Structure 1
Amino acid sequence: MTLNVRVTGALSDFVAANVGANGDYENVSEYVRDLIRRDKERVEEEAFQRLKAELGRAFAAPDASFAPLDADTFLADQRRA
């Protein structure tokens, strides 16, 4: 995939400061790939934290709130949903 992005003004200056001999990245493509990777990691971490919180609530529920369920019943419920 090839992307073309136009960045001007203060954003362009910021990118230029982070690329090349004085920056952390050799080129703009490397910088953009790193930003995308970091954003992907952030989104995945947020999803993990939501799952972790939901599981924490489920496991904190009293045992009396759980009901036995066999695989056939579970699958039938999932097909109806």
Structure 2
Amino acid sequence: MTVRLSGALSDFVASNVGEHGAYENVSEYVRDLIRRDKERTEAQSFERLKAELTRAYAAPESSYRPLTAADVIARNQP
């Protein structure tokens, strides 16, 4: 995988890599950025799920209806 940076982005990366930076090399820096982005995406997904479950648990009991496994499978078919 190749990434090309120039100008301000290249300077910024260079300031974070090497003897005075937080990372030993550019690859380490990019891997860390990708891991953080992955964690952020997973946290957002979890928060959406948590919000959905909160709404579901807050729904009045009268809005619930029984479902069989076949009902759930059928509902999720394309």
Root-mean-square deviation (Å): 1.3
Q: Determine the structure 2 residue equivalent to 1:73.
A: 71
Amino acid at match of 1:72: A
Length-normalised TM-score, structure 2: 0.90
- 1:9 corresponds in structure 2 to 7
In the TM superposition, what whole-angstrom CA distance separates every residue of 1:20-76 from its partner, at most 9, and x where no partner exists? 000000000000000000001001111110111011101100000001122233334
Q: Which amino acid aligns with 2:25?
A: N
2:20 equivalent to 1:22: yes
Consecutive unaligned residues of structure 2, counting only runs of 5 or more, are none
Instruction: Answer with 63-72 or 44-53: which moved more.
Output: 63-72
Is there any run of 5+ residues in structure 1 with no aligned partner, and where?
none
What TM-score results when the alignment is normalised by the length of structure 1?
0.87
CA distance in 2, matches of 1:74, 1:5: 45
